[in-house]
Structure formats: structure tokens, C-alpha cells
Chain A
Amino acid sequence: MSRMSAEEHHHILTVHVENKAGVLSRVAGLFSRRGFNIVSLAVSPTDDERFSRMTIVVDAESSPVEQIVKQLNKLIPVIKITELASEEGVERELMLVTVRATAEARSHVTELTAIFEAKIVDVGFDAMTIMVAGEPDRLDAFSELVRPFGIVELQRTGRIALPRIARQPVKLRAVRTARA
């Protein structure tokens, strides 16, 4: 489907930022002002409390990644940006989905849950909530398969990513290195 072709234009940026008030607003504002598209965005603390890590999936169709990276780098609280091509990073995402599952459908949904190594986290009389973690494609597939039962609510965290541990010479493209 179009999703695959769209994904080819997706780039993952891991952005180390100073952990200060308003940084998310600066980053989000930059994207809207320059007409860049964010596909997904996840912000999390790092092991160093002075910094946070933003994992931003950008749509390189909207503008060249190079320009996005350069503009991001101009933000004072942005310390370092690493661009990961899909094959260079380990990406994961988490999804919570509440599916309509009456008594007769319940076993079908449970079966799908087992196949996907997902987890049922809440059950009601006619619905259950399932947690799926994995690569974004896998989450897409799961939501497609449960859609016929009726999706009540669905939420995804957005992707987080880390570079693959290099076993060969490092292919990481450090766009800007942190300087002391």
C-alpha cells in the first residue's frame, strides 16, 4: 500500500537536547514554521538528567533531511543530532489497542494476540485491551488484523530508536558532534 512507499521517505533523527523548559516547543515550532512534517515524535529522559532525547521520524518528502537537520542544529538547546537510516537503527514502538470482543469473538482475538506475542492488559464484557510492542510494521499488521472486530480506541507511542551496535566499521552519520 502507500504506506510502504511513504516509509521510504521516513528518516529517524535522534536529537539530544538540553533538558530545559520549552525545548519541545522550540523543536515543534521550528517544524511548523519551516513546513517540515513530523511523522512521529517521542521524548524521553536519558541516563544524564541534563539532557533529553527526542526521536523524531521526519518525512523527507516535505523537505530535504539535510535542511531539517541544519535548522534543528541552529536551536541553542540542541546538542547533537544523529540521523539513522532504517537499516542502521533498531526501532521499536508500543501500541495499546482496545478491540471489541464479545464472547464469540474473544477467542479469535486472543489467538491473534498469541501469534503476535502481544499481551492482553485489560478485559471487559465485550472488549479487551491489548499491548503490542515491536517494529512499526508489526503494529500496522496487528491493527489491520483486529480492525474487522472493531477498534474502540488505539494509541501508539511513536518510534524510539537506537543505532545498531557496530560489528563493522561504524556507518553512523554524526551530523554534529557534541563538544565540551
Chain B
Amino acid sequence: MKLTGAQALIKSLEMEQVEVMFGLPGGAILPVYDPLIDSSIRHILVRHEQGAGHMASGYAHATGRPGVAMVTSGPAATNIVTPLCDAYMDSIPIVAITGQVPYSVIGTDAFQECDTVGITMPVTKHNWLITDANDIPQIIREAFHVATTGRPGPVLVDVPKDIANQEMDWYWPEKVDLPGYKPTVKGHPKQIKDAARLINESKRPVIYAGGGILKARAAEALRELAELADVHVVTTLMARGCFPDDHPLCLGMPGMHGNYTAITALQRADLLITLGARFDDRVTGKVSAFAPDAKVIHVDIDPAEQGKVRRPDVPIVGDCRVVIEELIKAVRSEQSKHAKPDQTEWHAQVNTWRHEHPLTYEQEEDGPLKPQFCIEALRDNTPDDTIVVSGVGQHQMWSSQLWHFNHPYTWINSGGLGTMGYAVPASIGAKVGMPDRTVWAIDGDGCFQMTAQELVTATAERIPVKVAILNNAYLGMVRQWQELFYGERYSEVYLSPDLPDYVKWAEAMGCVGMRVDTPEDVVPTIEKANEINDRPVVIDFRTDYREKVYPMVAAGSSNDDVILGPSTDKAGGR
């Protein structure tokens, strides 16, 4: 069967079971948009290519399937670089397809030409420039394989316009053969045995669960392991929801803005059972002072993570789910042979920390609206399996701290890259993938202004997401650092609460816009928003700009130096 390269590309995407893609056409990708009309694939027309990338990311987060974005060459390709880098940092499977000027004129500085493959090389797991239409099915097959296996990540396929118009004989490759790419899935049995022995011998073990648990669909296995070994679990920013917050063994989020108990349990542990986490600086604080007495078991599918930051005592390369399932068997066998040490004292210690250092804030009845109060009200007035999507900054930390995530894949945010403006497009992608679930974006006013135009997409495509803007009129996290570390010298962080008028802006984009100034209006407005299901909703919560995220470990400090909030920290309080 003769097909054009463009037809072969769309057919290949169908063969990969792509149901939806996010994109925006332009000159070089025109040939590929033509056969799309006849395809079963739903295309969502974005308003900016960055939106396409983040939507693909939100979709992938929520569904576990690769997100697909398609844009044209030059400026469109550069606009999608940020989402690719974001997905690379957070190991999100995305397949980006970019148009390119005709292969015959590459290198001549043609209109809308840019070296997309060169630019995206360091922010993709791999990328391809197609030079022959006959390679299209093979390369698309490889692209999906690379994006979704091993440590997932974004890939990019650059398609020159003349290649898209070239005729080829259709085929679908039986298999992928990449001699330089064979991820290790199964852990080494001896290492697993060693790990099980360490787990059974340890007095103060903590499971340090990272985003790899979610990527490996290992939430259930993790729960079984934690319960079997009776070990507390901390869930990193990328792992929130992989272990239920309501579970008695759950300690919540560690790190720079983690809670006291999670941070301190890691610090005092004699064993870190690290599962799909990468010792990010936001988790470890000063690396040399991190968990100083702990031995480390490190399970990761990416061998390069072993020993990159912290040298593990027992490295295990493999898929988290497969390894944990083996680990469960090994721990069981270990338990049948040796009694484990008494951990009563450790558990009592952890509980003492929990009671002495809860997360706190105060909402005065007539006082300014506290952002934490808004988040808790949202949490308590939405379904338990609501998908929460956040941007980056204070609102992100409060959401992660205060929400009770009891289901995997209910928390979507930009962790590694810290991409402001992530929430709106990612929430749209999540809602497209999970149309029956309630999706709330919790956003900051700074973040919202970066990508809000995608709400036009949401209205046009009937994707009823809900957005809560915690509008404190500042780039809040930057303000917090300027207050704490730059002697209250506020440099370029003020945004204004009224400019833009968020309600009118929302309405102009076809959404319902509402504004909340006082605590008593919070719950009724959320209830109103919950009833709207035919269009997006935006709530402008006017929050107290003075509120800061606590606890906090200052950048570069040891995790022993947790700065607690003013209401619990008598010395630093006011």
C-alpha cells in the first residue's frame, strides 16, 4: 500500500493506540495535518505550543499512557522545549512531533528553520530527524518504545516537509531493535536478598518513595511491602499519592518544605529504602549531612542514579514494581528465619514528632484569607479521587503539604524543572485523559498569567477543568526568599491583585469566573464551582500575601535545621 510520509505518520500513531494529541499546525507540518482529518485521533488545538507540551504531560501523568504533541518547525519547536525539559526532569513519557523545513533546504536558514534535534538533544531521552519516509513506521515505533520503557521520558521526532510528502510502502515493524537500549527490569537476586536482610535487621528504617513508584505502577506493591515490614513511608513531591496519606505508616512529604516528621525521620533513620527516588537537592538539603547514620538501599531503573548523589550500600537496578514484588518475597523469607529488632521505641519517637510538630496556620475569622484555608476547604469539598494539578511556588508546596492524597495519580505538578504555568495546560491534559474525574488546578497568580490562554482551548474543546488561583498579588515564593534571605528587600515581585481582573479574564475565555475575598465565602463558592460541568471555572481567591511556606530548610542547609512556622517556633515566631 502506497502512502505519503504524512499518512504513514498518522497511521503509525494510530497503530500506537494514540487516542488524543495536542497541537497547533503551521507551515512545515501542514502535510501531516491533512490526513489527521480522516483519522480516529482526537486533536486538541492549543493556543500556544507550550500548552500542547504540558497538556501531553498532564495526560501522561493521569493516564500512564504517553502524551502526544504535534507542532510545526522553528518557533513552534522552540516553544515546546520547556515542556520537553520539564518532562525530562520528571520522567514523563511524551512523544513530540515537529515539522521541519524540507530536507533539501536544511542548513540554508530557510523560513522557520531551526535545529530542533540539536536544541532538544539535552532535554529528550532521544530524538530523531527523519530523512526518508520509509523510516517513519520504524522510527515512530522506536519513539514510543523509548518514551515508555525503562526510565520514561520525552522523545522528539522531527519531520521535514518533503519527507512528509514523499511516497512510501506501508509496513508496520514487528519489533523494535535498538542494540544500545535494553533497560534492566528485573533486580539482581543477590542484591534483593541483601536488601531484605538489611530491612529485617534495621531498627529505624524509612521507605523513601519517589516518582518511580508511580511510573512503575507500583503503589500496591509498595503498600504491601510497607505493611509487611512495618516501615514508615515518606512520599516525595513527585510521589505524593503513591502511598495513602491517611495510612498510619505515611509520613508525608520530606525535603525543603516537607513536614518536620518526614524530614527528621529520614535524618535519624538507620536505613533508607529508596524506591524510585533520586536524592534531589530539594529532598536532601546539604548532601553530606543527609541521613548521616543510614545505610541505603537504592532501587532505580536508571543505573546512572545509583551513586550519582549518595553511594548506596545495596544498589538494585530494575523496575520498582518488579523489584518490590521480589523484595516482598525475600523479606517474608527473612522474617521466617530471623526475628526483627524491636521497633517500638522508634515508632513512639515518630509519633511524638507527629504530635509535636503538625503543620499549622491560623485563619482568623475577620482576618485576611489564608491560602492554606482555601486549599483545605477545597480538599474537604471535593471527591476523594479528585486530580489536583499545581503550578510552581508557594501554592504548590501548600497543596502538596495539606491535601490528603489517598490514590495514586491524583497529584500532578512540575517537580524537577519547576515550570511556572504548568497547572492550567497540565490540568486540561489530565481532564482529557480522565474525563470522569474532577480536576482542580491550584495555581498562583504569577503562574496563571503565564499560560492562562489555554482556558480558551478548554472552553472550545469542552474540557471542564476548575482553577483555583491563590492570588496574593506577588511572586510569592520569591517574595518569601527576599523576606527571609535578602533582608526584606523586595525586588520585582509585586504583581497587583486586580491587574488583570481575573474574573473578567476568565469570562472572556468562556469560563465562569468567581472571586472570593473572605473566609465565609470560600466553601459556598467551591460548591458553586463543583456544580458547573459544562465549562471551565476559575476562582480568584484573594489571599494573604504575608503568609509563608513552613516548615523550611534553607537552601544548602542541613535537614537538621528545620525552620518551623511562626506559630509553632517560639524562638523565630512573631
Contact = CB atoms under 8 A, between A and B. Distances in A.
Interface of A: 17-18, 21-22, 25-26, 29-30, 33, 64, 66-67, 70-71, 73-79, 178-180
B118 A25 contact: yes
Interface stretch (B179-187, B210-218, B450-458, B499-507): B179-187
Given A70-B303, A71-B304, A74-B304, A21 B178 contact: no
Nearest to B121: A29
B146 interface: yes
Interface string B108-145: 00000000011001100110010000000000000000
A180 B178 CA distance: 9
B302 interface: yes
Given A74-B302, A76-B180, A26 B121 contact: yes
Contact of B308 (A21, A67, A75): A67
Contact of B179 (A21, A26, A178): A178
Contacts of A70: 303-304, 306
Contacts of A26: 121
Chain B CB within 10 A, most for which of A21, A66, A74, A179: A74
Contacts of A79: 179-180
A94 to B, nearest CB: 29
Q: Which of A17, A26, A76 is most buried by chain B, counting CB atoms within 10 A of its CB?
A: A76
18 contacts: A17-B180, A21-B129, A22-B121, A22-B129, A29-B122, A30-B122, A64-B307, A66-B307, A67-B307, A67-B308, A75-B180, A76-B126, A76-B146, A77-B180, A79-B180, A178-B179, A179-B179, A180-B179
Contacts of B304: 67, 70-71, 73-74
A81 B86 CA distance: 29
B192 to A, nearest CB: 21
Nearest to B178: A76
A75 B126 CA distance: 7
A33 B118 CA distance: 13
A75 to B, nearest CB: 7
Interface string B155-180: 00000000000000000000000111
Interface string B199-210: 000000000000
B179 A18 contact: yes
A73 B179 contact: no
Contacts of B129: 21-22
Contacts of A29: 121-122
Nearest to A71: B304
A102 B308 CA distance: 56
Contacts of A75: 126, 180
Given A76-B146, A78-B180, 19 more contacts: A17-B180, A18-B180, A21-B129, A22-B117, A22-B121, A22-B129, A29-B121, A30-B122, A64-B307, A66-B307, A67-B308, A70-B304, A73-B303, A73-B304, A75-B126, A76-B125, A76-B180, A76-B181, A178-B179
A39 to B, nearest CB: 21
A179 B178 contact: no
A25 B121 CA distance: 9
Nearest to B122: A33
Contacts of B181: 76
Interface string B299-312: 00011101110000
A175 to B, nearest CB: 10
Interface in B363-415: none
What 9 pairs across the A-B complex have the smallest Cβ distances? A70-B304, A76-B126, A79-B180, A33-B122, A76-B181, A78-B180, A70-B303, A71-B304, A76-B180
Nearest to B181: A76
A24 B99 CA distance: 24
B365 to A, nearest CB: 53
Nearest to A79: B180
A66 B304 CA distance: 8
A111 B178 CA distance: 54
Nearest to B308: A67
A78 to B, nearest CB: 5
A28 B459 CA distance: 45
Residue with the highest number of chain A CB atoms closer than 10 Å, among B125, B129, B304: B304
A25 B120 CA distance: 12
A27 to B, nearest CB: 11
Nearest to B183: A74
B413 to A, nearest CB: 24
A24 B125 CA distance: 16
A66 B315 CA distance: 14
A63 B117 CA distance: 27
A40 B126 CA distance: 25
A121 B317 CA distance: 53
A18 B177 CA distance: 13
A79 B180 CA distance: 4
A30 B304 CA distance: 13
Contacts of B125: 76
Contacts of A179: 179, 182
A178 B179 CA distance: 7
Nearest to A64: B307
B87 to A, nearest CB: 16
A161 B248 CA distance: 58
Nearest to A32: B122
A61 B302 CA distance: 23
Contacts of B180: 17-18, 75-79
Nearest to A30: B122
B186 to A, nearest CB: 15
Q: Which of B125, B146, B179, B181 has the most CB of A within 10 A?
A: B179
